[in-house]
Amino acid sequence: MKIAIDLGGTNMRVGLTDGATVVDTVIEPCPAQEPEEVVLAQLKRQIAQLMRPEVTGIGVGVPSVVDCQQGIVYNVANIPSWQEVHLKEILESEFGVPVAVNNDANCFALGAWRYGEGKGTQNMVGLTIGTGIGAGIIIDGKLYNGVNTGAGEIGSLPYLDADYEFYCSSRFFSKLHGDTGANFAKLALAGDKEAQAVWQEFGTHVGNLMKAVLFTYAPEAIIIGGGIANAFALYEAPMRQQLSTFPYPENVAATRIEPSTLANAAMLGASILH
């Protein structure tokens, strides 16, 4: 059994896992604007609620760059006080079991690869599309971190007048069209033509993002997670239309692109960091 943590600026999700099963969870809002010690104290309390003698390790996914060897997280997104937190050392001292820390998108990719739609592949990209863009890279059956988990920051690649993250995440809806992706999804599903046109535009941008992934990694599968994965049906057609212009059609044909249906993928990925 492992304790697995999916840490975000909105919620802190701590689970007790047994293989592919999340046995129990403790989910609480993150006190993101509080000092470092306040956030840490809550995390420890949540872990303590699930800790039992059978637990052999703790895995943590964090939205930040991470020194995996030392288990240090830097500049955590949406938790301003977490500039440099020696999380591995802190949690090992508190709970007496090995602790592994990695980037949250990497944890999603690991979970989708081991237990979800990426199962059976050797080369896979897990792409999280939500508030921002995250990516985890599996190469030859192993997670590729790069330096300080910096590999796979595809969202930061320049695109048009900004970057892919601006045009392929929730920012596209809020910044360019003045509403949330969730509201545009409701409208589009209800038959609103303007909302459907917004999703068409979004899908074209996502198609270009997929081209960047194909040029860079040529994976067997691209598995999409994050909040906007749920609306895949609204942007799949324009995404694939854009992919039809990719210069290596054989590679497009060889790559599965689909949304993740695995619940708790990032948490399950964190559980197998050891």
Closest CA to 117 of 125, 106, 230: 125
What does CATH list as the number for 120-259?
3.30.420.40
Domain segments of the chain as ranges = 2-106+265-271, 120-259
What's the count of helices (H) and strands (E) in the chain, helices before strands?
11, 15
Q: If DSSP codes are grouped into helix, strand and coil, which group holds residue 40?
A: helix
Q: What is the mean pLDDT of the chain?
A: 96
- d(Cα 49, Cα 14) in Å, to the nearest integer? 9
Q: Bridge-partner residues for 126, per DSSP?
A: 136, 223
Assigned token pair, 116:
């979800």
Cβ–Cβ under 8 Å, residues 154 and 209:
yes
Cβ–Cβ under 8 Å, residues 191 and 226:
no
Q: Give me the pLDDT at residue 242, please.
A: 98
Q: Give me the pLDDT at residue 274, please.
A: 82
Residues 245-272 pLDDT 10s = 999 999 999 999 999 999 999 999 999 9
Rounded mean pLDDT, 88-103:
98
Residues 143-178 pLDDT 10s = 999 999 999 999 999 999 999 999 999 999 999 999
Rounded mean pLDDT, 174-186:
96
**One CATH from 3.40.50.970, 3.30.420.40, 3.40.30.10, 2.30.30.60 for 2-106+265-271:** 3.30.420.40
Q: Give me the pLDDT at residue 9, please.
A: 85
Is the model more confident about 238 or about 131? 238
- d(Cα 26, Cα 48) in Å, to the nearest integer? 10
Task: Count the neighbouring beta carbons within 10 Å of the beta carbon of residue 253.
Answer: 10
Give the pTM: 0.95
Residue 131 has pLDDT above 90, yes or no: no
Cβ–Cβ under 8 Å, residues 162 and 181:
no
Strand duo 72-74 + 84-86: pairing: antiparallel
Question: Rounded to whole angstroms, what are the CA distances from 206 to 22, 166, 173, 189, 200?
Answer: 31, 11, 13, 19, 10
Rounded mean pLDDT, 17-23:
95
